Amino acid sequence: MIKRYRVVTNADFTGSLNLMKYRASMMGAKWITIVSHRELDRYENARHLANDQIIFQDGYDLGSARYLTTIDADLYDCPCTVGTCTGR
């Protein structure tokens, strides 16, 4: 395993996953495993929002974006168990 990586975007799942795959590839990963996914949709959860404003934990204001998506994934450079890929 290379590392666990997180992306937080104001895009839907597909756009966020594409960003995750791009960044994982740039870090040398050949495979990813999604560990968790959270998505807040402003329109689906409209009755739960006060004053139509969402503030994320670190103070990021969602503004007019529809989605807030978080994806956590483990990045791998080899799908094999430890030691089996050393012969390549």
Does this model's pTM top 0.85? My answer is: no
Would residue 87 count as lying in a domain?
A: no
Question: What's the residue count for the chain?
Answer: 88
Q: Is the pLDDT of residue 60 over 90?
A: no
* Residue span of the structural domain in which 54 resides: 3-76
Total domains in the fold of the chain: 1
Would residue 81 count as lying in a domain?
A: no
Would residue 44 count as lying in a domain?
A: yes
Would residue 88 count as lying in a domain?
A: no
Q: What is the pLDDT of residues 21-51, one digit of tens each?
A: 999 999 999 889 999 998 877 776 555 555 5
CB crowding 61-75: b at 16 or more within 10 Å, else e: ebeeeebbbebbbbb
Q: What is the CATH number of the domain that holds 27?
A: 3.30.1660
Q: Is the pLDDT of residue 78 over 70?
A: yes
Amino acid occupying residue 61: D
